[in-house]
Amino acid sequence: MQHYPKSIRNLIRQLSRLPGIGEKTAERLAMHVLKAPADQAQALAESILQVKRSVQHCQQCFGLSDGPVCQICQDPGRDRDLVCVVEQPADMMSVEKAGCFKGLYHILGGVLSPMDGIGPDRLRLEQLWRRVDSGQVKEVILATSTSVEGEATASFIAQRLAGRPVKVSRIASGIPMGGDIKYVDQMTLKRAIWGRHAC
Amino acid sequence: MQHYPKSIRNLIRQLSRLPGIGEKTAERLAMHVLKAPADQAQALAESILQVKRSVQHCQQCFGLSDGPVCQICQDPGRDRDLVCVVEQPADMMSVEKAGCFKGLYHILGGVLSPMDGIGPDRLRLEQLWRRVDSGQVKEVILATSTSVEGEATASFIAQRLAGRPVKVSRIASGIPMGGDIKYVDQMTLKRAIWGRHAC
């Protein structure tokens, strides 16, 4: 790499800081940028700067947004009674891609993890209690992950909401679709049997 | 993807125009850029713009350079008698990485390809004849690829240089290192036998 001109070396270094991009790939990408039309390179650089300038957290759900309130929270077609609680914006995007949920979201910004010093005050829980207390929410769906921390966070929220006039539910866990029973781990199988439903 | 804010969608679109980056990877990279410190994103954007602004072709070898003459052509430690002719700057970088060549380069900018309408006038051949005629070059090493076009280009250059007081050589072709004889194609094996040397 030391044979490249300084500006190319710098671009390769910057690109290889991206996740999953090694030096070899960074070199190939840098060569592409070099050969690409100037306006395409400009558009890429501009979009990087723009995303850092304009993306902020939605004031209501704390998802990613270009403005103070995100598209989903603004959408009059969404069901305001239902709030799906997730850990991160990426989880919200996954639920959106599944395309079966038409309510609103609440992004916690993480999970409870005493080992990492993340207690309830580090998550957006106060904001969740406030949303529930506003009276507009009828059901809170806990869609944190099924890891130890995700489960603990879901239990914590369920306990804290217990006294309030709101239904609290947890997404189902069990065998993933297309999963082969003999390869599924015991914990998942146990959950699948516990959570069985009438056919 | 339509659930992301517009600026993130734009960044994902720009990133997925890079070679080998699909929409899924572009999404992951965009999320990284979003989370990364502002100065890191700024440095990446800046390096893209900088490379387009400052990289030019070296006036002597036509390799990539930050200034009018590249580092290699400027290096007083390189052997000015030897010129290695390659197709593209990336080929020059490969030879440099091999670390066994201490001469100068001449980048043709492609290969002869009548099918694609690329004749001798589309390559930097006039500039090569001029370098040879300047009298400083004692040997021209033809390191174009061993494809049909690369071989034809090497033959063409060898013929045109035949009358001039310069040695012309072609890089060896044969079994790649670590190659298994039984899996090597017949053409390569034929070349390896033709090009055999005393042990």
pLDDT of residue B97: 86
Cβ-based contacts of B40 with chain A (< 8 Å):
17
- Answer whether residue A61 shows pLDDT above 80: yes
CB pair distance less than 8 Å for A41 and B51:
yes
* Backbone region of residue B137 per phi and psi (left: phi > 0; alpha: psi in -120 to 50; beta: other values): beta
Residue of chain B with shortest Cα separation from A99: B3
Cα–Cα distance for residue pair A14/A12, rounded to 1 Å: 5
pLDDT of residue B20: 93
CB pair distance less than 8 Å for A93 and B3:
yes
Residues 19-78 of A with CB under 8 A from B: 19-21, 25, 28-34, 38, 40-55, 64-66, 70-72
Average pLDDT over residues A101-115: 94
- Answer whether residue A2 shows pLDDT above 80: no
Q: Would you call B197 helix, strand, or coil by DSSP?
A: coil
Average pLDDT over residues A86-100: 89
Partner residues linked to B56 by β-bridges: B65
Q: How confident is the model at residue B63 (pLDDT cuts 50, 70, 90)?
A: very high
pLDDT of residue A97: 86
CB pair distance less than 8 Å for A34 and B55:
yes
- Answer whether residue A1 shows pLDDT above 70: no
CB pair distance less than 8 Å for A49 and B55:
no
pLDDT of residue A155: 95
Who among A20, A33, A72 is closest to B48 (CB)? A33
Q: How confident is the model at residue A10 (pLDDT cuts 50, 70, 90)?
A: very high
- Answer whether residue B2 shows pLDDT above 80: no
- Answer whether residue A193 shows pLDDT above 70: yes
Cα–Cα distance for residue pair B81/B141, rounded to 1 Å: 11
Q: Are B103 and B81 in contact (CB under 8 A)?
A: yes
When comparing pLDDT for B153 and A199, which is higher?
A: B153
CB neighbour list of residue B108: distance below 8 Å, 6 or more residues apart: B85, B86, B87, B123, B124, B125, B128, B144, B153
pLDDT of residue A16: 95
CB pair distance less than 8 Å for B5 and A50:
no
Name which of A161, A176, A166 is nearest A103 in CA terms. A166
- Burial class (CB within 10 angstroms; exposed 0-12, middle 13-18, buried 19+) of A132: buried
Cβ-based contacts of B8 with chain A (< 8 Å):
51, 55, 64
Q: What was the ipTM of the complex prediction?
A: 0.74
CB pairs under 8 A between A and B: 148
pLDDT of residue B189: 85
Residue with tokens 């099918």: B115
- Answer whether residue B1 shows pLDDT above 70: no
CB pair distance less than 8 Å for A64 and B14:
no
CB pair distance less than 8 Å for B64 and A90:
no
The lowest-confidence range among A162-166, B64-68, B192-196 is B192-196
The string of DSSP letters for A69-121 reads S-HHHH-TTSEEEEEEEESSHHHHHHHHHHT---EEEEE-SS--BGGGTB-GG
pLDDT digits (tens, 9 = 90+) for A126-148: 999 999 999 999 999 999 998 99
Average pLDDT over residues B4-33: 93
Average pLDDT over residues B21-33: 93
Q: Are A63 and B34 in contact (CB under 8 A)?
A: no
Output the average pLDDT for chain A: 91
Q: Are A42 and B50 in contact (CB under 8 A)?
A: no
Q: Are B57 and B89 in contact (CB under 8 A)?
A: no
- Answer whether residue A3 shows pLDDT above 80: no
Would you call A137 an interface residue with chain B, using a CB distance cutoff of 8 Å? no
CB pair distance less than 8 Å for A48 and B72:
no
Residue of chain A with shortest Cα separation from B58: A5
pTM of the model: 0.73
DSSP A50: H
Who among A11, A13, A53 is closest to B48 (CB)? A11
Best interface-test mutation with B: which of A1, A3, A64, A74 has the largest number of B CBs within 10 A?
A3
